[in-house]
Structure formats: structure tokens, C-alpha cells
Structure 1
Amino acid sequence: MKILSIQSAVAYGHVGNSAAVFPLQRIGVEVLPVYTVNFSNHTGYGAWRGPMISPDDVREVITGIEERGAFPGIDAVLSGYQGGEGIADVILDAVARVKAANPDAIYACDPVMGNAKSGCFVAPAIPVLLRDRVVPAADLITPNQFELGFLTDTEPDTLESTLASVDLVRATGPSAVLVTSVERPDREEGTIEMLAVDDAGAWIVQTPLLPMKANGSGDVSAALFTAHYLRTRDAADALARTTSSVFDLLERTHESGERELQLVESQDAYANPRMQFTVRRVR
């Protein structure tokens, strides 16, 4: 399996491609990483150094990959945080060219905008661009519950309203949806959930809610779910594997006391997930 991953990169810590590439490699995926920024660290620190890469330069890198004859062998294009408006055109163009070379390839989009606690942390034009142009072109999307609400102009909170919002966004284009950070008012205290939906049904999984914030965990979730789903087209299995791996990554990070994901230290959790959480069919 080969995935063309168009995302940010940092030297210190793990977000974007710096979070997604290694877990994918550890489960046997060949990754072609293309960077949209090359920062010293993620912007959550309030200070960082390094360049945002221009859309033209990103396009040039992708064209170079195409010129090596790689596109027919690419199974998925994966994108995450989009720092500027221009990068969307580059990503959508790459998706079209990859699909022309391999009609079975999919586009997996993590529509990064923000979260319920912090609100939107991207430029004001980005959420609208994602909703109106990028998400409709995707086959698989991995929003959190907050982002799902923006994409559908709804306020999902219960299981029923979250499923209804998923149906609305699926009607715009994506056939498969992974919703992360699902927080229902009637869930068991101290837990959090993820929900996966495709044409075959809908499944939810619940884990303990760890008292921490971990930048990059969404990038790992999107990458692993994309790869597992590609391999099996089984949303329940992909959900179980992804949840197991990401929870163990977060638990190890929490126990370490470090701010950054313990990505390398947790590598066995990707290759050999414990499958310790029950996935329940809800539709």
C-alpha cells in the first residue's frame, strides 16, 4: 500500500506528517510525504521558526513524484491541516491526477479547523473552503465532533444528532466518516468515543478520557484509520485497530509527563494493537 500524504512537518515533536508517517510505516505502508510547512515545532507553543512552503513549491514536489511514475501505485491521498487557502487547489489537483492514474485510489481528508475547547484555530477562510470544496471531493473524512458541526451547520451532541450530521456530510460526497472526540451528554463519566460510518453501517467505541491535551493525536488517528480501512473496507475493524493504537499512544504519553506524543516509544501499539475496546454497532 502507498499513501501520498500532503501535510505539515515539524522538527521538534509530532504533528502532521511528523505524526502520521512513522505509524503508517510501522504497519507496512509506503508513505510519500509532501510537506506544506517545515516548522521547528507546532504552533501551539506560541512561537516557531521555519517556512510555510508556497503552493507552487508543493505542486512542484508532487509533479516530481508524478514524473517518477508513482501515481498508478498510489492507493490514497491523505491531507490534514491546511495553513493557507492556496494549498487546497494543489491537493485537489493532486487527487484528480492520482485518481486518473489509479481509479481505485481514494482521497482521505482530515478537515482540521479546531475543537470544542479551543474553537477554530485556522484562518477564517479555511473552514468555508473545506466545507464547500475540499470535503465534497473526499471519499473518507475524519472530523472531530466540533468540525462535523461546522461542516453541516449543526450542533451534534447526542448519538442521534451526531449520526444525523454524519448523514448530512456523507450526502455532500464522502462515503466513509470517522468522527473523533465524540462527547455525548449521556455517556459514562470519564469516557470519550469515536464513531465510524460507511455504507455498511455505523459503529461506536468508548475509551477512558485521559486528562491531557496531545497535539498530533488526530493526525495519527486519521492516518491509521485510512490505512486500516483501505486494507479491509471494514469500518468496524479499522475503528477497533485505530482506537487501540491511539489510546495506548496517549496513555504512554500521559504517563511520560512529556508534552509531545511518545510516538516512537509506542510503535508496538501500531503494529500489534491490543484490540482492548469493544466496538458496538449503532446502525
Structure 2
Amino acid sequence: MTPDVTGLEKLKTLLDQALGKCDGPACLLTGYLANADQGRCLLAFAEQARDSGKLAGWYLDPVFGDDAEGVYVDPAIVGFFCETALPAANCVLPNRFELSKLAGVDVPDVESAVAAARALIARGPEMVLATSVPAPGGRLANVLVTEAESRAAFVEQRPLRAKGTGDMLSAAFVGAMTAGVVPSDALQLAVDLVSETASDASVRDLRELDPIKSLNKLGFVSAGLRNSTYIAQLERNPTK
């Protein structure tokens, strides 16, 4: 069965329509690409929106592989991410495997993840959020890195059949950033949400994540808007 692939004209139309619905400058989060041509279409859109003052930031999730499966896309897509998209993005959100490939170095721990992220920052982006980095005690770290600072938020590893925790983390982080949350708090907020959702899916042995339940439990409305009480708690206790 041949999968449906969104054509470039339709993709551009959808992007223009989405941007037209925004009241002010918008953030763009991009992830899986069916082909490198889609990536070039997204890049042209991002550059045009940025030049017109309509783009607040491009958040690039370079979806091309993981530790379990290796690279699972056309090598041309990996080349696009590494050579073309990365220098143009404001923030890059790779998993540990993708970070290692993009930086060309091993990433066995948090310290090496910070060094690899800074190597990417030297090529263009202002910030890197690296996910699923091995940490002491069998935990995983999500590491937020800028040129001057780094911060890690840790989660426990757990058996999980459901997929999509990385996508959810990227979306939650970008959503919080768009709402005006500072990066360190946006990281913790996103990690808390994904950790709660993954824990629930593990306990119930779900095949699909149930983020709405976690949004409600953590005090968010189902539309995904941030709860001011929860954010205030993070601001009072940023090392939560």
C-alpha cells in the first residue's frame, strides 16, 4: 500500500492558511518529512514568514531515526536536516540518536549531549532540546542547551507500548514557549506533562497516549492552554 504524501502546493496552501489565522507572529514546529522536497518547501515558507515579521521562531524536530531502528527515512532527508534546515532553525529538538548523527559524535550521557548540542548551536540555532539522553540511575534526561547555559529534566524509564512521547514533548515545549513561558520552565512543564502521560499509558498498557487526561490532572484545560496557577508554581520553584 502506497502512503498518501501531501503535495508541495497543498502543503504551501495549508501553511499559508494556518499562518493567516494567527493574530500575531507564530512559532513553526516541523517534524517528520515524507521527502526532502517537503523540507525545502517548509524552509522557503519559514524564510518568507520570518522576513515579513510573521514568524517568531522555527522549531525543528529532525525526525529521522532512533536507537531502536536506526535511520528510518531516505538519506536525502537526513542531509536536508543536517546541511540546510539546521542552520536556519531557531531551535532544534533531536533525540539522542539524532543528536549524535547531526553532531557526528557519540552521545552516551548528559555531558556529551551538552557538548554535541553546542556544536549544533555553532552552526546556527540558538537553542537545542535533546531528548532521551541516558542518565545515572536508569533515568533519561531531556537537556536544554544554549550557548551559555544548560539545564536537564529527568524522567524514569518505564515499559511503554505507546509511541509519540517525543512528538508530545516537542509540541508541549513549543506551546509553552509560544505562550511566553521562559525556556527552563517550558522544559519542566513539557517534561511533567509527558511523564504523567507516559506513566498513565504504562500503567494502563495503552497503545495510544492519552494526553487529555494528563492535561486535566495537571490543571490544564483540554484546549492545551497553560494554567496560570501551575506556571506560577514553576516560577516560584524553578528547580521542581
TM-score by length of 1: 0.72
Deviations 1:165-209 (A, max 9, x none): 01100111111111100114xx113x2111111245100121111
After TM superposition, where is structure 1 displaced by more than 6 Å over at least 4 residues in a row? none
Task: Give the one of 199, 203, 209 matched to 1:251.
Answer: 199
Q: Unaligned 5+ residue runs, structure 2?
A: 221-226
Task: Give the one of 253, 265, 282 matched to 2:213.
Answer: 265
Paired position in structure 2 for 1:107: 58
Deviations 1:23-44 (A, max 9, x none): xxxxxxxxxxxxxxxxxxxxxx
CA apart distance, 1:237 = 0.9
1:180 pairs with 2:128: no
If each structure's helix is expressed as a fraction of its own residues, which one has the higher value?
A: 2
Task: Give the one of 69, 79, 98 matched to 2:49.
Answer: 98
Paired position in structure 2 for 1:24: none
1:133 pairs with 2:84: yes
CA apart distance, 1:104 = 6.0
Q: Unaligned 5+ residue runs, structure 1?
A: 1-47
Opposite residue 10 of structure 2, the aligned amino acid is D
Rounded Cα–Cα distance in structure 1 between residues aligned with 2:193 and 2:211: 11
1:62 pairs with 2:15: yes
Rounded Cα–Cα distance in structure 1 between residues aligned with 2:166 and 2:219: 15
1:194 pairs with 2:145: no
Say if 1:72 and 1:101, in contact at 8 Å, map to a contact too.
no
Rounded Cα–Cα distance in structure 2 between residues aligned with 1:265 and 1:233: 22
Opposite residue 201 of structure 2, the aligned amino acid is T
Same amino acid, percent of matched pairs: 24
Tell which has more relative contact order, 1 or 2 (C-alpha 8 A, sep 6+).
1
Rounded Cα–Cα distance in structure 2 between residues aligned with 1:175 and 1:160: 19
Paired position in structure 2 for 1:42: none
CA 240–140 in structure 1, closer or farther in 2 if over 3 Å, else same = same
- Secondary structure of residue in 2 paired with 1:204: strand
Count of residues in correspondence between the two structures: 226
How do 1:41-80 residues align onto structure 2 when only pairs under 5 Å count?
A: 51-65=4-18, 69-70=20-21, 73-80=24-31
- Secondary structure of residue in 2 paired with 1:259: coil
CA apart distance, 1:217 = 1.3
- Secondary structure of residue in 2 paired with 1:146: helix
Q: Over aligned residues, Cα RMSD in angstroms?
A: 2.4
CA apart distance, 1:231 = 3.7
Paired position in structure 2 for 1:35: none
Rounded Cα–Cα distance in structure 2 between residues aligned with 1:56 and 1:220: 27
CA 221–84 in structure 1, closer or farther in 2 if over 3 Å, else same = same
CA 270–134 in structure 1, closer or farther in 2 if over 3 Å, else same = farther
